[in-house]
């Protein structure tokens, strides 16, 4: 293995890896006790280690049942958040829903409704995405440009290095998945989504040595066998603004940060001599975020069909990137979520559209062409979900289920959260009591969205 202990300054070292001036100035935040001289010291940092509570068990297969033989790579443009809603509703009803969205937004603005005032509307729509691309930026030098060998490390060391890099740049949790043609490769979409709701480019695995793209196709070399999966937190207090449109602010801000972090990660991998193949648009278009997150061991599947993590519940967004840098894959975890969801049903009780099923048991039956087959889950009626969101005048979010989930409630690390998480993970007989205890804390929804403007929040609203 080649390691380079260099005498160059920390600033020059980090810049050579594509972190840039901003990252260099922020380095003491992640490494406050000492200067960072090389990759070995980055990998030795506590930020490189995934510290998990003892009640989280690694398991050989996810707690949600998956039939890989019934699963095929999915066309992302079919999901309701792309073109699937229009197909599910029919053109006439879809146009009616879109008209209702515009009218209801304006009526609330004119009525100065809390959570929908002009100030709130401007806040939600102050969205900026850095440019994103499949292959990524090419503004830094590669090892070939410098005349040195590519970086080489053991998969476990590489995983520590990537985790440290990602935590430095704002990722909450980081995990890794190895692609297998019979299983996890099916989580990569067959097509992404194009402009508007149109079908995007075909995603093709190939024996090519380098990634490439044309007007119709993106080539993923088969030597790129690893997926980096990471989460970005949502602002804790603003999640409780559901179901007003202000919930879109922490949602969009996570995507804002992702558009920056993805480019930084692609530059870092390029500087080491490897490829980083990311989302070609600001949203989710490369593969199943929830599927990869679960296979990486970041969290469990839930009644809402979102991934629940031990620390943040559903208060995060999940992203991914494919690379040829060898990485030690994680394993699925079990900390009681699927079992608790059978009892709790709080998200289904509060869902304003009735889209979340209240059945105790899961099912293989999907709701429509907009959902992936081969997953035994509580399949949310996503067409009803998004229709309600639009008719109510929101942008693309309601997130009531995020706010009321007991595993998303309370500040991380508090006695309340620790007791709740431990009970759910280790004492199934207490599930009903845990739901009752959570109910005593309220329903998780903010009755006065205007309170946000008077809060003294930490950066990004992360408590």
Same domain, 123 and 211: yes
**What is the predicted pLDDT for the residue at 35?**
53
Residue found by looking up tokens 């009970």 in the block? 423
128 phi and psi angles, rounded to 5 deg = -135, 130
**What is the predicted pLDDT for the residue at 16?**
44
142 phi and psi angles, rounded to 5 deg = -90, 165
Q: Is residue 228 part of a domain?
A: yes
Q: What is the rounded average pLDDT of the residues 223-243?
A: 92
Q: Is residue 49 part of a domain?
A: no
Same domain, 28 and 145: no
Same domain, 25 and 108: no
**What is the predicted pLDDT for the residue at 125?**
87
Q: Is the pLDDT of residue 29 over 60?
A: no
Q: Is the pLDDT of residue 427 over 90?
A: yes
**What is the predicted pLDDT for the residue at 81?**
87
**What is the predicted pLDDT for the residue at 36?**
55
254-282 pLDDT, tens per residue? 999 999 999 999 999 999 999 999 999 88
Higher pLDDT, 346 or 114: 346
Same domain, 388 and 442: yes
Q: Which is it for the CA torsion 243, 249, 250, 253, positive or negative?
A: positive
- Lowest-confidence segment of 14-23, 120-129, 305-314, 418-427 by average pLDDT: 14-23
Q: Is the pLDDT of residue 201 over 60?
A: yes
Same domain, 258 and 166: yes
Higher pLDDT, 385 or 5: 385
The Cα 131–Cα 150 span in angstroms is 27
**Helices (H), ranges, 112-208:** 118-124, 143-146, 155-168
**What is the predicted pLDDT for the residue at 241?**
84
Q: Is residue 78 part of a domain?
A: yes
- Kindly indicate the confidence band of residue 37, based on its pLDDT and cuts at 50, 70 and 90: low
Same domain, 232 and 85: yes
Same domain, 306 and 332: yes
Q: Which two tokens stand for residue 405?
A: 């989930």
What contacts 128, CB < 8 A, 6 or more positions away?
A: 256
Q: What is the rounded average pLDDT of the residues 69-75?
A: 96
Same domain, 97 and 238: yes
**What is the predicted pLDDT for the residue at 243?**
85
**What is the predicted pLDDT for the residue at 42?**
63
Q: Is the pLDDT of residue 34 over 60?
A: no
Residue found by looking up tokens 């903010």 in the block? 446
List beta partners, residue 79.
Answer: none
**What is the predicted pLDDT for the residue at 413?**
60
Q: Is the pLDDT of residue 10 over 70?
A: no
- Kindly indicate the confidence band of residue 38, based on its pLDDT and cuts at 50, 70 and 90: low
Of 19, 13, 63, 57, the closest CA to residue 39 belongs to: 13
DSSP conformation class of 34: S
Residue found by looking up tokens 């431990």 in the block? 422
Of 236, 210, 213, 233, the closest CA to residue 221 belongs to: 210
Higher pLDDT, 190 or 456: 190
Q: Which two tokens stand for residue 255?
A: 């995507």
25-64: burial string, b at 16+ Cβ within 10 Å, e else: eebeebbeeeebeebebbbebebbeeeeeebbeeeeebbb
Same domain, 90 and 123: yes
Q: Is residue 15 part of a domain?
A: yes
Same domain, 40 and 79: no
148-185 pLDDT, tens per residue? 999 999 999 999 999 999 999 999 999 999 999 999 99
Q: Is the pLDDT of residue 244 over 70?
A: yes
Q: Is residue 232 part of a domain?
A: yes
Q: What range defines the domain where residue 443 resides?
A: 54-463
Looking at the structure of the chain, the number of domains it has is 2
Element (H, E) at 438: helix 431-440
Q: Is residue 269 part of a domain?
A: yes
Torsion of CA 193, 195, 197, 198, to 10 degrees: -70
The Cα 212–Cα 220 span in angstroms is 8
Higher pLDDT, 123 or 18: 123
The mean pLDDT of the chain is: 87
Same domain, 142 and 290: yes
Same domain, 74 and 208: yes
**Percent of the chain whose predicted confidence (pLDDT) is above 70:** 86
The Cα 34–Cα 27 span in angstroms is 10
Specify the length of the chain in residues. 463
The Cα 384–Cα 88 span in angstroms is 9
110-123: burial string, b at 16+ Cβ within 10 Å, e else: eeeebbbbeebbeb
The model carries a pTM of 0.89
- Three-class SS of residue 179? coil
């Amino acid at each position: 293995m080649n390691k380079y202990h260099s005498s160059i300054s920390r600033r020059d070292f980090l810049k050579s890896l594509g972190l840039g001036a901003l990252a260099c100035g922020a380095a003491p935040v992640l490494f406050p006790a000492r200067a960072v001289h090389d990759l070995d010291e980055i990998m030795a940092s506590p930020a490189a280690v995934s510290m998990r509570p003892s009640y989280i068990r690694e398991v050989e297969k996810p707690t949600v049942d998956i039939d890989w033989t019934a699963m095929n790579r999915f066309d992302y443009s079919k999901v309701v958040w792309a073109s699937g809603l229009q197909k599910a509703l029919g053109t006439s009803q879809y146009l009616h829903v879109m008209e209702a969205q515009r009218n209801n937004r304006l009526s609330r603005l004119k009525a100065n409704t809390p959570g929908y005032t002009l100030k709130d509307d401007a806040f939600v729509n102050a969205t900026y995405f850095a440019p994103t691309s499949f292959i990524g930026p090419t503004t830094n030098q590669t090892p070939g440009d410098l005349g040195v060998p590519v970086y080489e490390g053991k998969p476990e060391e590489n995983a520590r290095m990537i985790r440290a890099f990602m935590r430095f740049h704002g990722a909450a949790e980081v995990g890794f998945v190895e692609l297998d043609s019979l299983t996890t490769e099916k989580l990569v979409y067959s097509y992404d989504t194009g402009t508007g709701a149109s079908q995007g480019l075909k995603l093709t695995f190939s024996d090519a040595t380098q990634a490439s793209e044309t007007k119709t196709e993106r080539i993923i070399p088969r030597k790129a066998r690893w997926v980096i999966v990471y989460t970005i937190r949502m602002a804790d207090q603003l999640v409780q603004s559901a179901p007003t449109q202000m919930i879109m602010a922490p949602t969009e801000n996570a995507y804002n940060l992702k558009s920056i972090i993805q480019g930084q990660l692609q530059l870092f991998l390029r500087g080491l001599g490897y490829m980083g193949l990311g989302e070609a648009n600001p949203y989710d278009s490369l593969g199943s975020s929830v599927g990869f997150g679960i296979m990486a061991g970041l969290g469990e599947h839930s009644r809402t069909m979102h991934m629940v993590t031990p620390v943040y519940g559903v208060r995060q967004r999940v992203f991914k990137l494919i690379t040829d840098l060898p990485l030690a894959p994680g394993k699925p975890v079990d900390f009681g979520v699927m079992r608790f969801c059978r009892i709790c049903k709080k998200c289904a009780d509060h869902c304003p559209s009735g889209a979340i099923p209240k059945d105790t048991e899961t099912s293989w039956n999907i709701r429509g062409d907009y959902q992936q087959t081969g997953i035994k889950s509580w399949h949310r009626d996503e067409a009803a979900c998004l229709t309600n969101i639009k008719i109510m005048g929101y942008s693309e979010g309601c997130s009531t289920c995020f706010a009321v989930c007991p595993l998303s409630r309370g500040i991380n690390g508090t006695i309340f959260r620790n007791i709740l998480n431990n009970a759910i993970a280790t004492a199934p007989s207490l599930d009903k009591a845990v739901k009752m205890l959570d109910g005593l804390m309220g329903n998780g929804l903010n009755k006065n969205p205007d309170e946000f403007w008077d809060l003294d929040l930490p950066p990004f609203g992360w408590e």
